[in-house]
Amino acid sequence: MAKKLKEQRENNFFDDVVKYFDKAAKFVNADKGILEQIKYCNSVYRVKFPVRVGDKVEVIEAYRVEHSHHKTPTKGGIRYSEHVNQDEVMALAALMTYKCAIVDVPFGGAKGGIKINPRSYTPEVLERVTRRYTTELVKKNFIGPGIDVPAPDYGTGEREMAWIADTFQTFYPLETDALGCVTGKPIGQGGIRGRREATGLGIFYGVRHALTYKEDCKKWGMEPGIEGKRIVVQGLGNVGFHAAKFFFEAGAIIVGIAEYNSAVYSENGINPVELQKWFREKGTLDGFKGTKSFKTPAEALEYSCDILVPAALENQIHIDNAKNIRAKLIAEGANGPVTPEAEAILTKKGVIIIPDIYLNAGGVTVSYFEWLKNLSHVRFGRMEKRFQGAVNTRIVNNIERATGKKITDAEKQAIIEGPDEIALVYSGLEETMINAYDVIREAYWNTKGIEDMRTAAFVVALRKIVESYSLLGIFP
């Protein structure tokens, strides 16, 4: 499916990002030279290296792109995919710059990619590829806690990030902040609780908050709130699964889920946790109890629903299928799942798109928290959990004495318990997504000429980046 849709791309991915940039730049009061500086990538590193696979040697193609250094370090994931190319990595790096600006995370944007299909290699080979790639980044100064900080992306996860951290530490054994060279690591190796589900949870927080505005929902032809909303999710990987899980737990009805090789639907709703177990055991979504299968995974995108969450790869909604989309709201979980040409069709139809550069920023937000944890060398909640619990206990005891009423043990425990790391991470992520949405919403509704939320998000990002350049003294 991904390969077929790749061939249908209206134009290059980076050109799509440039189109969005140019559309938004009209609403930004800034020097044209500064806007040109922001638009294009600062550093592009392309490398090929040999890796032994069985009894032969394969030459692996890989990239790391740093889009903007208006703030350092740069930040962005590393994806493993046979479709990786320079254009894609440049586009994703640019999106990271704007994403970080929107959610006030102090990084420039970057991205990396290795052109392999990870399903075709053993863990031992993947480790050799990952460590060699990290070595190449070290040699060219494209990685470091104050330089460039990778993270997981499509086809990678905690395991690969642990290999990267270990390889970096081998080169810099005396670097006390070495673990800050990469985020998305396992908890025992400097990771942070909540990072795994962060992107999916951020999607949930963003959509939930958007649907609290009754006047907006009325204009969109939707009722406020998540409960009862019919949702289709494309992608049952880390992002799609957690988004579906949080929506499901909030009372939404997951009517359709698609993966790269299969897709199923049910008007009675699908439990994403049970479906994921089935997929891991069977290798397909087909045959899951209570569901029917789509003829092709792409058909799931066209299924009637309130909210469509494309959380797989870019270019999934394009000029050929946009007219068939029957969702009222598209929540972009993936990077660039809707092409500009498709967006024009959807906007004309009245479909609302909450854009990727805001909505999937939960990952980089919690990565920022992990980076801070690595630099501070202390777990979130360690200093304040017991203290806050003691304060809350005194408050509850005083209330009981003053009122003469007893609070049940269960209620008391819920009130007095101090925040641990995951509670603080969730709270920080929720605060970030709510604040960022409100700024975008303000620009969307109150800037004359802006017709879609993506343009509003780009305007917000560009204004913040321009301000950063101004503070750097580049221009008065």
Classify residue 408 by its DSSP letter.
P
What are the Cα distances from residue 148, in Å, to 135, 194, 420, 433?
14, 22, 29, 24
The answer to whether 143 and 181 are in contact (CB under 8 A) is: yes
Amino acid identity, residue 191?
Answer: G
Structure tokens at 20: 């969005």
Q: What is the DSSP letter of 406?
A: P
Burial 45-70 (b: 16+ CB within 10 A, else e): bebeeebebeeeeeebebbbbbbbbb
DSSP string, 401-446: HHH--PPPHHHHHHHHPPP-HHHHHHHHHHHHHHHHHHHHHHHHHH
Distance in angstroms (rounded) separating the CA atoms of residues 447 and 306: 27
Task: Name the CA radius of gyration of the chain, rounded.
Answer: 23
Stretch (H or E) spanning 453: helix 453-471
Q: How far is CA 38 from the centre of its chain?
A: 21
Q: Choose, from 111, 185, 328, 385, the residue flagged as catalytic.
A: 111
Instruction: Give the C-alpha separation, 360 to 100, whole Å.
Output: 11
Give dist(CA 28, CA 39) in Å, integer.
13
Inter-CA distances, 128 with 104, 105, 133, 383, Å = 35, 32, 8, 39
> Is 406 in the active site?
no
Q: What is the DSSP letter of 323?
A: G
Q: Please calculate the CA angle 61-119-60 and round it to the nearest 5 degrees.
A: 15
Catalytic residue set = 111
